[in-house]
């Protein structure tokens, strides 16, 4: 069963019926095949009919489980976000709670490892939008923000613990409009870190995914950097300095 269909255990819940289990398994198989087709043909060419063919059923049977191509894309988005989120959580949870630099490094390396292993899914999540498709925010926002929420949590915990240098150089005045945006984020996520740290956190977020995207999408070129691991390690050290954490 994929992460899309996983629910938390509850002793008061009724056990799934055979029909419910069969339906969940069929949807999991559709998502699995959808990932395979995504890797082979790309998101724009994704076809439910082709998935049905590989599943061994007529296309009309698949439509009882997945309404259309857009619904399949949504399921693949949610599944990809949750796969990435699960790997990030496992990596960060393996680091001591007071090792904030280590937690960030673990998070960043987990993102990169998953992206390199699953380039098609990474492209669906963080690449160019699929023409004609609009992700439903009410279903994708929560899984889609798992990594950034975890990232913000690490640095806010570091600030609360006195391990984050909020006065890192250079000092920059936060414009009024940006300060309002940061205040809204602070309230929504119950953060304590000041504006300067939050703004640098945004830079950290975009820089991390920018570095990963450059590698996954081949933007460095084939011969520019042969020491990709070392380059990424250097980038993480620089980013830790930007945010004010000692690695």
What is the signed CA dihedral for 18, 22, 23, 26, rounded to 10 degrees? 180
- For position 61, what pLDDT does the model report? 87
Per-residue pLDDT, 247: 61
- The model's pLDDT over 13-62, given as tens digits with 9 standing for 90+, comes to 688 888 888 889 999 999 999 999 999 999 989 999 999 999 998 888 88
Question: Which are the contacts of 146, defined by CB distance < 8 A and separation ≥ 6?
Answer: 81, 82, 84, 85, 88, 89
The yes-or-no verdict on residue 133 having pLDDT over 90 is yes
Provide mean pLDDT across the span 112-139.
95
SS3 161: coil
- In terms of C-beta density within 10 A (0-12 exposed, 13-18 middle, 19 or more buried), how is residue 238 classed? exposed
Dist. CA 192–CA 62, nearest whole Å: 48
**3-state DSSP assignment of residue 97:** coil
* Residue 109 to residues 88, 92, 98, 116, 233, Cα–Cα distance (Å): 9, 10, 18, 11, 9
pTM passes above 0.95: no
Which residue, 191, 190, 2, is CA-closest to 81?
2
- Quick: pLDDT tens for 70-113: 999 999 999 999 999 999 999 999 999 999 999 999 999 999 99
Least Cα distance to 163 among 108, 238, 98 occurs for 98
Tell me the C-alpha distance between 223 and 220, whole Å: 8
Q: What is the pLDDT of residues 205-240, one digit of tens each?
A: 999 999 999 999 999 998 899 999 999 999 999 999
* Contact between residue 191 and residue 152 where contact means Cβ atoms under 8 Å apart: yes
Residue burial 102-126, b: 16+ Cβ < 10 Å; e: rest: bbbbbbbbbbbebbeebbbbbbbbb
Residue owning tokens 């954490």:
245
Question: What values do phi and psi take at 180, rounded to 5?
Answer: -65, -40
CATH architecture of residue range(s) 82-243: Orthogonal Bundle (1.10)
Q: Quick one: pLDDT at residue 60? A: 85
Per the prediction, the chain carries an average pLDDT of 91
Question: Looking at residue 245, what is its pLDDT?
Answer: 87
């Amino acid at each position: 069963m994929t992460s899309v269909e996983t629910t938390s255990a509850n002793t008061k819940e009724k056990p799934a019926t055979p029909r419910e289990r069969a339906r969940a398994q069929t949807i999991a198989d559709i998502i699995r095949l959808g990932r395979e087709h995504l890797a082979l043909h790309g998101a724009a060419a994704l076809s439910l009919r082709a998935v049905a063919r590989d599943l061994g059923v007529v296309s009309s049977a698949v439509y009882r489980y997945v309404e259309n191509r857009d619904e399949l894309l949504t399921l693949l988005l949610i599944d990809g976000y949750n796969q990435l989120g699960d790997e990030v959580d496992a990596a960060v949870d393996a680091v001591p709670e007071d090792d904030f630099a280590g937690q960030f490094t673990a998070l960043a390396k987990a993102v990169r490892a998953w992206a390199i292993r699953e380039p098609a899914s990474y492209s669906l999540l963080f690449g160019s939008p699929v023409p004609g498709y609009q992700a439903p925010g009410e279903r994708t926002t929560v899984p889609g923000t798992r990594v950034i929420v975890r990232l913000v949590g690490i640095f806010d915990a570091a600030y609360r613990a006195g391990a984050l240098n909020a006065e890192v150089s250079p000092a920059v005045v936060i414009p009024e409009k940006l300060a309002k945006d940061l205040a809204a984020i602070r309230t929504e996520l119950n953060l304590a870190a000041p504006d300067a740290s939050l703004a640098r956190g945004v830079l950290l977020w975009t820089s991390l995914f920018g570095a990963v995207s450059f590698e996954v999408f081949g933007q460095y070129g084939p011969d520019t950097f042969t020491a990709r691991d070392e380059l990424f390690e250097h980038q993480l050290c620089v980013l830790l300095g930007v945010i004010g954490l000692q690695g």
